[in-house]
Structure 1
């Protein structure tokens, strides 16, 4: 990093990523672990986090889009990579050539990957996804026999190898929700049918971060961990990051751009939704919704400045927001403002911002924009 303090930057503690992967592996000691690095590793930097996760024992990496998987390969990352969000006409052939395991939820996808395998002269590695109740991607139970039969035939002709059978929970972040056991039962039945028909998957998996932490019976051969890899609690109801043995990896910092004294009754930011109550001191924080600061946190978002947690005064703008420091506060231009972090020094956390914006902490870290540089620590 340059000696000049950056406007705003995100520090990513890769030791925290490694520690979180180890902690999650301890929760599922008999299963392999997939570190999900989609959406640029939930905003943390996919390549650096993928390497850190592998160093800590992750044997699989997961991405949503093919382009995310290819970016890992372009960076020289080896090992097993799975990609699950496909649309007709996607780059199946490149995925086969680059040893990416691809998810198949329907016959159209199986036909396209078979064609790609023929074109490359290689066997495609595929994982059949079952819709056990989430209602998004995945094959419905009523269509499962047809998809399994087609996959068995494709294996016989040598175009594909079915390396996995998998699904995804709808409510694993709500312990005791009745859908959890219903989905587990459906998954066991659909896996059992596929195996009876002759498929011998390398891995069976349904557990996401919350299920990894709270539902041992769901671990099967592999657990897929996303947000927990980055130290963010998958749900406040399950506990804080610290209570779950996790450490948040991202700390978002800014350099105070301006400090000025203003009189009482002074409007602040667009719409004057905030007006100073008395003579006071304002600080300008040079980060806004274009950087990922949620506009919904206008008037509520917390930030640590000058040794105290302050609240966003007025609306969050595209590139900046203001905090009211109070009269005589000892803060100067160039001082550090910590928007969120692990909470060690009393700074707000991503969960604090999620509550302020009426959203989830996943969104807070993932939405941090590309113009915010990531500074990876402990590489």
Structure 2
């Protein structure tokens, strides 16, 4: 027999800005360096404008984004802190960046020349590859980058505000690569000074290094995941800021031997009760968590059974009686025993960052 909810509420993602505020204050207390709040990817899925305002109100003094578009969104939200954008193509809209007072990272001589040629007087941060072979100028290019930057600054085409790098192994406190990354950045700063540059902001540490590698703090730290309660180093309990709920839309009693969902990847081994949730991989639940994930229903963790579908997830309630319309907690802070973002990341074989930035736009948002 099936029971169906007569009034279905939508899956809802609730953002707790008090958690963002508490995390920001914690990082401000952790370091004597300035704190940049990184609000890229829509504030790690928590809302760019809300996270930016909350972080600045609680002690962050800079904001970080990937693109100029994100930087403009920060400005349009009314936040007036310095903003740095560090991932732009050579032909980026430098005039728009300068007009919105957005600093630009330059990872090569070619990027620097393009920014200088725009004639907008943009503030730049020299972005150095300090051990990732990803973003930033390779060490062989550093002297040429410093020379070009000094020439452009002397011509009034740019103002060199900072030198920056990134650590590849900060999630492993004490890893030798972290010290090498720090020494590499300091060497880059020395080359900049030898070229006649006087950058005022040296920055290298992101969330994990801010928590575990004090020597890397320098003049500023960049905290993104930590603002929303994620510690990549696994050393510190922060305040998770998201809660995802979904209503039970259907309840059915099934016998033993019933296959569930596509491919019948799960077959019941006893008579049981199944609940259907209207949320799936199109909403950000990783399909790879199928068969391992749990949700909380009526205060109890219950297993997800069968394959997570695009729009639907089936939960095994056992012999517990639940009515359609009951709220299921997909994840939350974990204070009441509900699964957390970290649990979902582990079940999916990924990192919490991917879970929080992957929640789809069909899910309703609530901010408190």
TM-score band by shorter chain is over 0.9
> What does 1:1-379 correspond to in 2, within 5 Å?
6-28=9-31, 30-116=32-118, 118=119, 122-235=120-233, 238-239=234-235, 244-327=236-319, 329-377=320-368
Cα deviation 1:160-181 (Å, max 9, x = unaligned): 1111100000000011222111
2:88 is paired with a residue of what secondary structure? coil
* Cα distance in 1 between the residues matched to 2:117 and 2:70: 22
Misfit runs of 4+, over 3 Å: none
* Cα distance in 1 between the residues matched to 2:343 and 2:228: 16
* Cα distance in 1 between the residues matched to 2:246 and 2:199: 48
Q: Is the 8 A contact 2:10 2:364 kept in 1?
A: no
1:35 is paired with a residue of what secondary structure? strand
* Cα distance in 1 between the residues matched to 2:240 and 2:304: 22
* Cα distance in 1 between the residues matched to 2:237 and 2:341: 16
Gaps of 5+ in 1: none
The CA deviation at 1:245 is 4.4
* Cα distance in 2 between the residues matched to 1:283 and 1:6: 15
* Cα distance in 2 between the residues matched to 1:349 and 1:42: 16
Normalising to structure 2: TM-score of the pair? 0.96
The CA deviation at 1:114 is 1.2
2:302 is paired with a residue of what secondary structure? strand
2:318 is paired with a residue of what secondary structure? coil
The CA deviation at 1:5 is 6.3
Q: Is the 8 A contact 1:260 1:281 kept in 2?
A: yes
1:281 is paired with a residue of what secondary structure? strand
Larger displacement relative to structure 2 (264-273 or 190-199): 190-199
Q: Is the 8 A contact 1:306 1:330 kept in 2?
A: no
Larger displacement relative to structure 2 (74-83 or 40-49): 74-83
The CA deviation at 1:115 is 2.2
Cα deviation 1:295-333 (Å, max 9, x = unaligned): 000111121012210111010000111011002x12111
Q: Is the 8 A contact 2:247 2:327 kept in 1?
A: yes
Normalising to structure 1: TM-score of the pair? 0.93
Q: Is the 8 A contact 1:8 1:254 kept in 2?
A: yes
* Cα distance in 2 between the residues matched to 1:5 and 1:200: 60
The CA deviation at 1:258 is 0.9
* Cα distance in 1 between the residues matched to 2:109 and 2:194: 20
The CA deviation at 1:202 is 2.1
The CA deviation at 1:76 is 2.3
Partner residue, 2:4: none
